[in-house]
Amino acid sequence: MRSVAPPPRIAAPTPEVFEREWVRARRPVILTGATDHWPARRLWSADHFRERYGDERTSVAVTDAGQLARDPSVGIRYQETDVRTAIDRVFGGGGPSHYLIATLETTLRGVRTEVEVPALCRDRARLRSRLWISAPGTVSPLHRDFPDNLFAQVIGRKRFTILAPSEGRRVYEHSFRSKLPRVSAVDPERPDLARFPRFRGARVVTFDLEPGDLLYLPGGWWHHVRSLDASYSINWWWASGLTRLLVTAADVYKRMRSVRL
């Protein structure tokens, strides 16, 4: 493996500059200062979600000692429960065992009043958003998404390990017929190079997102995410043109095969 410099950290640009310098160029970037005014920056905590949203329904994913989605024959196992119970499972003793992942178009709509959709993606086509709440040590495996992603780290820190789309042959992606399509079999933190020798030549980028950071990750970039602290995040995906058609087709395929990512 070869370590590559992390994305630049810059003050949030105008939408026009963002589109020209980063979106069209398909370059990741970390933006600072764009979320300082959000109520979520001072409100979000386990107690806040228990008290304000406790009776609402949400999804919580089951992890294996903090690791999400290890088995391609099983995929991600979700449980539907109330937020109060979900928060207790996420932050219960004995290490990370659950990961709250809420689709904000259908659940927890009040959360959207505590943040602001960034101007950088506000008018994008097919805009979708998720809330992510996790305990320290919770890990999402190396995977890729088709849409572009603007990821806001609101509370706590997360460590990202990313690889460019051109590194795809090195990551041993699970079959699209599995329960983990677009997910890599390689753990980039502890790669088994005997099993996955092509990963030896991978160009790997590792960096930490701090509270208040916005990460732009173009569609197709591989990313592995570890929560370093109790973490509260929200992201927005969007897709246009041919990518929008690809995302729609992928969603249909997942529904047909009961795959949920």
Question: Are the C-beta atoms of 154 and 137 separated by less than 8 Å?
Answer: no
- Quote the mean pLDDT of the chain: 94
Question: Are the C-beta atoms of 216 and 148 separated by less than 8 Å?
Answer: yes
The 3-state DSSP composition of the chain as helix, strand, coil percent (nearest 5) reads 25, 30, 45
pLDDT-derived band of residue 22, with 50, 70 and 90 as boundaries? very high
Q: Report which residue type is found at 172.
A: Y
Percent of the chain beyond pLDDT 90? Answer: 87
Q: Say yes or no to pLDDT of 253 above 70.
A: no
- Taking the C-alpha atoms of residue 217 and residue 147, their distance in angstroms, rounded to an integer, is 9
What's residue 244's pLDDT? 75
191: CB partners within 8 A, 6+ apart: 1, 199
Percent of the chain beyond pLDDT 70? Answer: 100
What's residue 87's pLDDT? 98
* Mean pLDDT, residues 167-185: 96
252: CB partners within 8 A, 6+ apart: none
DSSP state of 228: S
What's residue 261's pLDDT? 75
* Mean pLDDT, residues 173-191: 96
Q: What is the pLDDT of residues 103-161, one digit of tens each?
A: 999 999 999 999 999 999 999 988 999 999 999 999 999 999 999 999 999 999 999 99
Q: Say yes or no to pLDDT of 192 above 90.
A: yes
Q: What is the pLDDT of residues 71-98, one digit of tens each?
A: 999 999 999 999 999 999 999 977 899 9
pLDDT-derived band of residue 245, with 50, 70 and 90 as boundaries? confident
* Mean pLDDT, residues 49-72: 95
- Taking the C-alpha atoms of residue 5 and residue 239, their distance in angstroms, rounded to an integer, is 27
Domain spans of the chain, in order of start: 2-256
The radius of gyration of the chain's CA atoms, rounded to the nearest angstrom, is 18
Q: In terms of C-beta density within 10 A (0-12 exposed, 13-18 middle, 19 or more buried), how is residue 168 classed? A: middle
* Mean pLDDT, residues 227-244: 92
136: CB partners within 8 A, 6+ apart: 96, 227, 228, 229, 230, 231
Q: Identify any residues that bridge with 80 across adjacent strands, giving them in sequence order.
A: 59
Which CATH number is associated with domain 2-256? 2.60.120.650
